[in-house]
Amino acid sequence: MSAGGAPVPPPPNPAVSFPAPRITLPAGPDILRTYSGAFVCLEILFGGLVWILVASSNVPLPLLQGWVMFVSVTAFIFSLLFLGVFLSGMVTQIDANWNFLDFAYHFTVFVFYFGAFLLEAAATSLHDLHCNVTMAVQPLLSDNQYNINVAATIFAFVTTACYGCSLGLALRRWRP
């Protein structure tokens, strides 16, 4: 009772005042049993390979390959966070339209990774371009750097395809 004699109402229950999150993907380890979970794991695996391969080529074209490195590292980290949120079950605790967030994330990363794939392919295609290096004409990329960049281009394409497949699945969930 309050000082005026009237009873004090109980505080509102915060669990009742928020709507349930909107998601159709399972939370916890069950996410790994879905196509979307498998594609996110492949995105992490192949994206990490792109990152490692571009870095191991000593980035001979920093203007082009710097963007590829930025996209691959950023997408790798955010894909790990995305998968971690689903694996930990936090999606059931956070009020959001997870179907839309899944679509928006995969659309954004697909666009950026497609651009990174094109830049990596362009950097690889410059293999036969010769440049002056103190009186000697040498190819822009050594044979080893060329081979590494070919592998990075292939894995960038595969990663882009995985993000595209995830985008298609997310679109299907968001707009049934």
Domain boundaries, the chain: 29-128+142-174
40 closest CA partner among 97, 93, 104, 86: 86
- Cα→Cα distances 120→53, 60, 99, Å: 11, 11, 31
Tens-place pLDDT, residues 20-30: 557 778 888 99
37 closest CA partner among 23, 56, 52: 23
- Cα→Cα distances 169→23, 99, 176, Å: 13, 10, 10
Q: What is the pLDDT of residue 141?
A: 77
Structure tokens at 55: 């870095």
Tens-place pLDDT, residues 90-110: 988 888 888 899 999 999 999
Q: What is the pLDDT of residue 144?
A: 87
Tens-place pLDDT, residues 105-144: 999 999 999 999 999 998 888 876 655 555 566 667 788 8
Q: What is the pLDDT of residue 60?
A: 74
Instruction: Name the residue type at position 130.
Output: H
Residue 63 has pLDDT above 90, yes or no: no
Asked which of 5-19, 73-87, 116-130 is least confident by mean pLDDT, the reply is: 5-19
SS (H, E, C) the chain: CCCCCCCCCCCCCHHHHCCCCECCCCCHHHHHHCHHHHHHHHHHHHHHHHHHHHHHCCCCCHHHHHHHHHHHHHHHHHHHHHHHHHHHCHHHCCCCEHHHHHHHHHHHHHHHHHHHHHHHHHHHHHHHCEEEECCEEEECCCHHHHHHHHHHHHHHHHHHHHHHHHHHHHHHHHCC
Query: Which letter, b or e, does each residue of 13-50 get, where b requires 16 or more Cβ atoms within 10 Å of its Cβ?
Result: eeeeeeeebebebbbeeebeeeebbebbebbbebbbbb
Tens-place pLDDT, residues 139-175: 677 888 889 999 999 999 999 999 999 999 999 988 8
Q: What is the pLDDT of residue 132?
A: 55
Residue 51 CA to its chain's centroid (Å): 12
Q: What is the pLDDT of residue 7?
A: 78
Q: What is the pLDDT of residue 176?
A: 61
Q: What is the pLDDT of residue 136?
A: 62
Q: What is the pLDDT of residue 17?
A: 52
Overall average pLDDT of the 2-7 stretch: 67
Q: What is the pLDDT of residue 126?
A: 80
Q: What is the pLDDT of residue 163?
A: 97
